[in-house]
């Protein structure tokens, strides 16, 4: 079920798409373009949920149309329009887009070739090609203007929201791993892990759109790329922790250090929450926990227990799991501290 915010954004996008299509049709009728509906179709196709995605779709469609129009016009002018030249033109348009690193434009280029060469107006192929390119370009320009001026939704904002959500999911994933290790009831770890991976995949796509937005603060786009990489590193650290404590259903050695484990878990979970809030508000949070102190306290307790021979009363694999948890926790803390340092130097108003 859609949230209220999601429903509102969907309604805005519907209105923007309709307006872009309507304006495109109106302009082509004012100038009496015979097949102006191609402008409206182009505007509807390239209008995406954020500005960066619209720019990317516009570039892809415009490039594909240009390649297809030029190749179709040349083939009709030089060889005429027949099945053989049509097939060759399609193949060459597809190949040229690949050479020019325009893989996303290949389908559009071949469709443009088909539209121009199969219209039955071979004697006016260049005119058709010019009209088609002009109509597509007009629709794209109108879609971009509407996207930029009417409720503009910049991809970088969606990336920030996604990163904040990813950290919330990672916190749930981390807590589930720790609860399972302590033999407490926990939410399905595989489900939480899968949800975290899906969120990170979505963020990667949004980041590519954000990087297409050449306007706006360059530092913010650079920061979002760094933070995306860091959140993925945190995910891998939690994933490593989960792997380290698998098969712990009969472990009891951890009970010797239960208070220290709870303190470490609370500090780590709190750090994930604060990182999420910092990104959501785009402002550094002041209440950063002392993660190193929590870890060192637990590590010292473990070292003291080792000296006193506590490990002699437990199975070797159980001892190994506990120390694997310690090592994985240290790695996770390092990644959290690193992300906090990145935020402390990158967010507006933070100390440089």
| Helices 155-181 and 51-79: angle between axes, nearest 10 degrees | 120
Q: 54 or 264: which carries more pLDDT confidence?
A: 264
Query: Are residues 204 and 228 in contact, defined by beta-carbon separation less than 8 angstroms?
Result: yes
Q: In the chain, pLDDT over 70 holds for what percent of residues?
A: 91
The predicted-structure confidence for 105-152, as pLDDT tens digits, reads as follows 888 899 888 888 887 555 566 777 788 888 888 988 888 888 878 877
What is the three-state SS of the chain? CCCHHHHHHHHHHHHHHHHHHHHHHHHHHHCCCCCCHHHHHHHHHHCCCCHHHHHHHHHHHHHHHHHHHHHHHHHHHHHCCCHHHHHHHHHHHHHHHHHCCCHHHHHHHHHHHHHHHCCCCHHHHHHHHHHHHHHHHHHHHHHHHHHHHCCCCCHHHHHHHHHHHHHHHHHHHHHHHHHHHCCCCCCCHHHHHHHHHHHHHHHHHHHHHHHHCCCCCHHHHHHHHHHHHHHHHHHHHHHHHHHHCCCCCCCCHHHHHHHHHHHHHHHHHHHHHHHHHHHHHCCCCCCCCCHHHHHHHHHHHHHHHHHCCHHHHCCHHHHHHHHHHHHHHHHHHHHHHHHHHHHHHHCCCCCC
Record the pTM.
0.73
The predicted-structure confidence for 218-246, as pLDDT tens digits, reads as follows 677 888 889 999 999 999 999 999 998 88
Give whole-number Cα distances, 276 to 70, 281, 330, in Å: 50, 9, 20
The predicted-structure confidence for 181-219, as pLDDT tens digits, reads as follows 887 776 788 999 999 999 999 898 888 877 777 665 667
Structure tokens at 155: 């991809």
């Amino acid at each position: 079920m859609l949230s209220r915010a999601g429903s509102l954004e969907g309604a805005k996008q519907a209105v923007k798409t309709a307006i872009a299509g309507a304006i495109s049709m109106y302009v082509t009728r004012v100038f009496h373009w015979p097949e102006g509906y191609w402008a409206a179709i182009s505007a509807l196709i390239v209008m995406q949920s954020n500005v960066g995605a619209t720019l990317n779709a516009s570039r892809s469609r415009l490039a594909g149309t240009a390649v297809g129009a030029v190749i179709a016009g040349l083939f009709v002018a030089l060889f005429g329009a027949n099945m053989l030249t049509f097939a060759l033109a399609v193949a060459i348009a597809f190949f040229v887009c690949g050479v020019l690193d325009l893989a996303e434009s290949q389908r559009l280029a071949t469709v443009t070739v088909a539209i121009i060469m199969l219209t039955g107006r071979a004697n006016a192929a260049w005119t058709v090609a010019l009209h088609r390119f002009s109509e597509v370009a007009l629709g794209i320009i109108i879609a971009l203007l509407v996207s930029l001026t009417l409720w503009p939704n910049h991809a970088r904002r969606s990336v920030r929201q996604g990163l904040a959500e990813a950290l919330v999911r990672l916190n749930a994933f981390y807590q589930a791993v720790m609860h399972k290790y302590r033999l407490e009831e926990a939410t399905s770890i595989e489900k939480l892990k899968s949800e975290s991976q899906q969120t990170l995949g979505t963020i990667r796509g949004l980041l590519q759109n954000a990087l297409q937005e050449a306007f706006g603060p360059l530092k913010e786009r650079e920061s979002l790329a760094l933070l995306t990489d860091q959140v993925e590193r945190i995910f891998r650290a939690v994933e490593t922790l989960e792997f380290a404590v698998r098969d712990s259903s009969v472990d009891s050695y951890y009970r010797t250090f239960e208070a220290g484990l709870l303190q470490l878990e609370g500090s780590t979970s709190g750090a994930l929450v604060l990182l999420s809030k910092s990104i959501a508000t785009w402002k550094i949070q002041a209440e950063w926990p002392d993660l190193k102190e929590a870890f060192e306290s637990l590590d010292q307790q473990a070292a003291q227990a080792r000296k006193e021979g506590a490990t002699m009363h437990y199975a070797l694999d159980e001892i190994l799991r506990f120390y694997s948890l310690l090592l994985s926790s240290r790695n996770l803390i390092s990644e959290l501290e690193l992300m906090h340092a990145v935020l402390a130097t990158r967010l507006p108003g933070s100390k440089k």
